[in-house]
Amino acid sequence: MHSDPITSAQLRVFLVPHGISADSFCGLAQDCVAMCVQSLVSASTAISARRTTVDGQLFLIKHLLILREQTAPFNVEFAVKETSLDFSNYKDAAIGLWIQRGTGLFSLNRGNTLLRLLLETPHVIETEVDSRRQLDVQLKVTCEAFIEDTVKRLSGELPEFLVKTDLVLSAPGARLEDQAFAHPGAVRDLVSNAHRILCTALGRVTKSHTASDPPETGSDTARPVSLWHALHTYLANPDTEAILLRRIRNGVLAYWRTLYQLVLSQYNEEDRMIIACPTESQVRYDLNGLKMNTH
């Protein structure tokens, strides 16, 4: 089912009289698409506020894809040139006149602000507005935001931990072992929690997380399964889902790869055994089941 703004825009375009000129039709189509995109963005914001950010993002992605598909059959340019007048030069001349008041207002030279004010003309500005390009930009921005948020959500506290370690190691002579947050025991807990979040998203249960454990609450990371269910429910398009999932898998894998290299370079063998960080190949094996478990 299409969103009301899309249906409304379609009706307006299809019901345009056949006698209308091509330029007028292009302008009407551009306005319809632009207002439709704006309405969808507003609806997405409202959904995010009432439900979750994921719901709002997936709603917007789905309907922007529908809108792009529905506008494709129209062999017209969704770009128009808008003309406006810039009166800023009048403002500058008026300010100069106020400053110069009473001194040389009637002198015939270039410094006479009164003469300048009388002879000034507004600047004509032409701008091209392309609603189809705006649609594509909005779609790309929303997809990138969804991918970034999802990668961070599935990575637990790894992103924040890696940022902290970068700050520490950027100082000359700094050592991670001197930092409480980077103690092997603390890193072990961080790795365990992050891996549990990832495995839960894949529909698996780790040894450190059994059915007797209390459920996590208070964040979207506690409900990764519903996230993937929402992905298929909203999009229901294998090609689009595959594109998003590939980017998400690569993003999650990048965090784990960076963490493993950090552990390998900053901790001794005994500490590495305590941390028990999975290798890149192990995480990649887990992520290979991501698509299969989303349907």
DSSP string, 116-167: HHHH--PEEEEEEEEHHHHHHHHHHHHHHHHHHHHHHHHTTTHHHHHHHHHH
What is the band of 99 on the pLDDT scale with cuts at 50, 70, 90?
low
Half-sphere exposure of 152 (CA within 13 A, CB side): 13
What mean pLDDT do residues 79-95 have? Answer: 62
- For residues 146 and 244, the answer to whether their CB atoms sit within 8 Å is yes
Does residue 286 sit in the same domain as residue 191?
yes
The residue among 164, 154, 151 whose CA lies nearest residue 266 is 164
Q: Choose the most confident range, by mean pLDDT, from 65-74, 219-228, 242-251, 286-295.
A: 242-251
| 96 and 201 part of one domain | no
- Could you give the C-alpha distances from 51 to 55, 181, 203, 222, 224, in angstroms and in order? 7, 33, 23, 15, 15
Rounded to 5 degrees, φ, ψ at 174 are -75, 145
The predicted model scores a pTM of: 0.71
Q: What is the pLDDT of residue 143?
A: 96
Does 177 lie in the same domain as 94? no
Backbone angles phi, psi at 121, to 5 degrees: -130, 145
Q: What percent of the chain has pLDDT over 90?
A: 39
Q: Are residues 161 and 232 in the same domain?
A: yes
Mean pLDDT value across residues 266-280? 94
Residue 169 sits in the same domain as residue 289: yes
- Alpha carbon separation from 273 to 83, 185, 270 (Å, rounded): 68, 11, 5
Instruction: Provide the pLDDT confidence category of residue 9 given band limits of 50, 70 and 90.
Output: low
Whether 37 maps to a domain, the answer reads no
**How do strand 123-130 and strand 79-86 relate by DSSP bridges?**
antiparallel
| Residue 164 belongs to a domain | yes
Give pLDDT tens digits for 100-150.
Answer: 555 555 555 555 555 565 556 666 666 666 778 889 999 999 999 999 999
What domain count does the chain have?
2
User: Is residue 31 in some structural domain?
Assistant: no
pLDDT of residue 227: 59
Q: 115 and 186 share a domain?
A: no
- Domain-embedded: residue 184: yes
- Asked, for residue 239, whether it belongs to a domain, the answer is yes
Whether residue 288 is found in the same domain as residue 162: yes
Nearest-angstrom CA–CA distance, 5 and 135: 14
3-state secondary structure of 175: coil
* Residue from 259, 228, 260, 291 nearest 159 by CA: 259
Q: Quick check: 216 pLDDT over 90?
A: no
Predicted local distance difference test score (pLDDT) of residue 177 = 80
Q: Which two tokens mark 180?
A: 């409480």
CB-CB contact of 186 with 180 (8 Å): yes
Residue 191 within a domain: yes
Sign of the dihedral through C-alpha 273, 265, 258, 153: positive
Its domain, for residue 90, covers: 83-101+109-126
